[in-house]
Amino acid sequence: MQAQKLPQIIFLSTFLLGSNFSIQINAQTPQKINTKATVISDMKPPHEAIPHGVPKHFPWVKGPRIHMGNNPKNNKAIMAWGQVYVPEQGNRATNTRVQIRNIKAYMFSKRDKKWRLIQNSTKVEGAAFREDFVANGNKPADIRHEKDGSISVKAGNGYNFHFWPKNGRATINPSDVGGIFTTVQARLIIDNPKKLDDRRRARYLLNMGGDYWLDSKAQWDNFKTNGEIGMGKFKYVATKWQAFNMTTLSPSEIRRNPPPLD
Find residue 115's DSSP bridge partners: 108
Q: Are 194 and 88 in contact (CB under 8 A)?
A: no
Q: 152-177: per-residue pLDDT in tens?
A: 999 999 999 999 999 999 999 999 99
Q: 187-228: per-residue pLDDT in tens?
A: 999 999 999 999 999 999 999 999 999 999 999 898 899 999
Provide the number of structural domains found in the chain.
Answer: 1
In a domain, 201, yes or no: yes
C-alpha distances (whole Å) from 256 to each of 106, 250, 252 are 16, 10, 6
In a domain, 250, yes or no: yes
In a domain, 18, yes or no: no
Q: 15-61: per-residue pLDDT in tens?
A: 334 444 344 444 445 578 999 999 999 999 999 999 999 999 999 99
The backbone torsions φ and ψ at residue 176, rounded to the nearest 5 degrees and listed phi first, read -110, 10
Q: Which domain holds residue 77?
A: 33-256
pLDDT of residue 30: 58
In a domain, 22, yes or no: no
- CB proximity list for 15: less than 8 A, separation 6 or greater: none
In a domain, 13, yes or no: no
In a domain, 5, yes or no: no
In a domain, 27, yes or no: no
Q: Which of 104, 254, 219 is nearest to 170 (CA)?
A: 104
pLDDT of residue 222: 87
Q: What is the mean pLDDT of the chain?
A: 90
In a domain, 46, yes or no: yes
Cα–Cα distance, 115 to 104 (Å, whole number): 12
Q: How many CB atoms lie within 10 A of CB 131?
A: 21
**Mean pLDDT computed over 101-113:** 97
The backbone torsions φ and ψ at residue 123, rounded to the nearest 5 degrees and listed phi first, read -95, 145
Indicate whether 68 pLDDT > 90: yes
Q: Which of 53, 42, 30, 52 is nearest to 1 (CA)?
A: 42
Cα–Cα distance, 221 to 206 (Å, whole number): 25
